[in-house]
Structure 1
Amino acid sequence: MRPKLLAALTAVPLMLSAAPASAAPAARYAALGDSFAAGVGAGGYDPASGACHRSAGAYPALWRDGHGPADFLFAACSGALTADVLRDQVPRVPTDATLVTLTVGGNDLAFADAAVACLQPLTTDARCDAALDESERRLAEELPGRLDTLYRALDARAPAARVVVTGYPHLLGTGSTCVIGTAARRSRFNTLTDRLDELIGRQSEKQGFRFADVRAGFTGHGACRGGPDEWIHPITLPLWESYHPKASGQSGGYLPSVSDAVLG
């Protein structure tokens, strides 16, 4: 467990008497990760972010808007693997950052390939099972070491930062009225998400980071049959937004969980 140098989101200088809250410098915040951190599916994309598709509706941007950090690095990028975050994003984090958020790991399991194999209308059980078997293999054999390497590097880069690592929501509804895939496929896909979140939570907390579990917040809001309660896109256009949180999922699911982890 690494030592935490900050007791709160703001960095307070060491002195005999506490400085007034208004005098404390605001946080230096860096947001890292993949499409779920970038806000794919939430719309309002920054043209300058190109294929990273960083959205004004993503939870990092919403946190920035609500708390006004002195510095904000939004480095999350659609499609990022743990290796991409390690190579391209961690080196950009200020060494005196006071807050870092991170969402990554799904692409390392080929989540997108599994979604295509399991959830398209004409796919077969055999194709779905093969894709999920491969995702489960990567989860057991490859991802633990990759997360460990990434977390250690991030810890070394910003040793004073409060680091909040998020998991992923269940993408699919489980009710009898759901029309995506089959009940068995939806259940197995969500079980894979549970195993991924358990791994992320266990390893992030071992590193001394905080884990934001978003699954409870998204309960009842998975892709299913449409309507205002659906916070996850089903298959949609553009295709790269499919099975990603809508703006409502970022604001109603991710942001509260991250806020609780940051401030709790």
Structure 2
Amino acid sequence: MRGERELNRASWRRVVRLIGLVIIVVIAAMLIPAASAPRTSEHYVALGDSRAAGPSTLRFLNDSCGRTAASYPRLISEWLQPEFFLFAACSGAKVENIIDTPQETRSGGGRPLQIDSVTSETTLITISIGGNDVRWYDIARRCFTREEGDDRECRNDPETRLAAMESLRPLRPRLDRLLGELRARAPQALIFLASHGGTVGDGGCWPEVPASDEDAAFIAQYQDDMNDIIRAAARYAGVNYVDLAAHSVGHDACQPRHRKWYEGNVTTSTSLSMHPNNNGNAAFAEIFKEEIKKEFRRRVR
């Protein structure tokens, strides 16, 4: 009988230990959210061109739109962990490719309209657009020299100044239409429209920005004029303007590799020339995140 009672006590102790273990596991599971569960209920859609796509010279990282894991929308999504994320941005896109004209890509054929990713359930939209609409690089390269130390004096060329002014003229009505369409499709969404600029600072450098200091300042002013239009369109539509250019001062393509957020005409990284590099993409994500957090705080008041 004693042996039987001791055996029963041992069995009971094992059962108690097992129950305790199960309770601990259950509590741990409740405290630690599942990796696949979203941290937020946001429905996030990223629209735009290559500044959003984050293209790389490493082809195996690219799709037909040049979207990469280093792009700021991907980094925002990793931070936000939304319930739904659709990365619709595509390198080379113009406003028309978001709203009414399917974009033709070199390797992937026609792309669907980016705006088709936006629905009434969309709660967050980020956009980088406009550089291809105004063909800003075509204006900039009018100032580039073939030899170090030369000065094209594009700033004093009437044709270049007229071309710069004319390139900006259609941007505002295009942005007004885009933002109006987005408002109609996603009336509850927080919309964040990014500035352009930052690639060229107030001076040139060979060979990254092969222009005289005076011509580089002309290019920088041209991009400032572009951002004035983007900012005004954002204000008119009641969306959030994200001033990436202002934060980019001191991080242009002429800065040392560890400090610059952009590649120049000659790239020193795996990012494409005249595009943000991974430092820039990471910085952009942080800037967007701060703006998003501000709006989230306002929304819950």
Provide the TM-score with structure 2 as the length reference: 0.71
Name the counterpart of 2:279: 248
Note closer, same or farther for the CA distance 1:162–1:127 as it changes in structure 2 (3 Å cut).
Answer: same
Name the counterpart of 2:264: 234
Name the counterpart of 1:134: 163
Q: Distance in 2 between matches of 1:198 and 1:45?
A: 37
Residue pairs, 1:98-177, within 5 angstroms = 98-121=123-146, 124-126=152-154, 129=157, 130-139=159-168, 141-175=169-203
Q: Distance in 2 between matches of 1:240 and 1:132?
A: 30
Q: Distance in 2 between matches of 1:259 and 1:155?
A: 21
Match status 1:37 vs 2:37: no
Q: Distance in 2 between matches of 1:263 and 1:223?
A: 29
Mark the runs of 5 or more structure 2 residues left unpaired by the alignment: 1-36, 101-112, 295-301
Q: Is the 8 A contact 2:152 2:215 kept in 1?
A: no
Higher relative contact order structure (alpha carbons within 8 Å, sequence separation ≥ 6):
1
Deviation by residue 1:85-121 (Cα, 9 ceiling, x = unmatched): 1121112213210100011111111112123322353
* SS of residue matched to 1:152: helix
Q: Distance in 1 between matches of 2:144 and 2:288?
A: 29
Name the counterpart of 1:4: none
Name the counterpart of 2:290: 260
Name the counterpart of 1:27: 42
User: Which piece of structure 1 moves more, 232-241 or 58-67?
Assistant: 232-241
Name the counterpart of 1:222: 252
By how many angstroms is 1:25 displaced?
Answer: 5.1
**Matching residue's letter, 1:145:** P
Name the counterpart of 1:54: 67
Name the counterpart of 2:109: none
Q: Is the 8 A contact 2:98 2:115 kept in 1?
A: yes
Name the counterpart of 1:13: none
Match status 1:92 vs 2:120: no
Mark the runs of 5 or more structure 1 residues left unpaired by the alignment: 1-21
Q: Distance in 1 between matches of 2:166 and 2:217?
A: 18
By how many angstroms is 1:185 displaced?
Answer: 1.4
Which residue of 198, 208, 213 corresponds with 1:183? 213
Q: CA RMSD, aligned part only?
A: 2.7
Name the counterpart of 1:10: none
Same amino acid, percent of matched pairs: 29
**Matching residue's letter, 1:250:** N
* SS of residue matched to 1:102: strand
Q: Distance in 2 between matches of 1:152 and 1:116?
A: 33
Provide the TM-score with structure 1 as the length reference: 0.81
Q: Distance in 2 between matches of 1:201 and 1:41?
A: 28
* SS of residue matched to 2:244: coil
Note closer, same or farther for the CA distance 1:138–1:198 as it changes in structure 2 (3 Å cut).
Answer: same
Which is greater in Rg?
A: 2
Deviation by residue 1:57-103 (Cα, 9 ceiling, x = unmatched): 11100000111011111011111111111121112213210100011
By how many angstroms is 1:138 displaced?
Answer: 2.5
* SS of residue matched to 2:47: strand
User: Which piece of structure 1 moves more, 197-206 or 59-68?
Assistant: 197-206
By how many angstroms is 1:240 displaced?
Answer: 8.7
Deviation by residue 1:199-242 (Cα, 9 ceiling, x = unmatched): 11111121111010012321111011542112210123699911
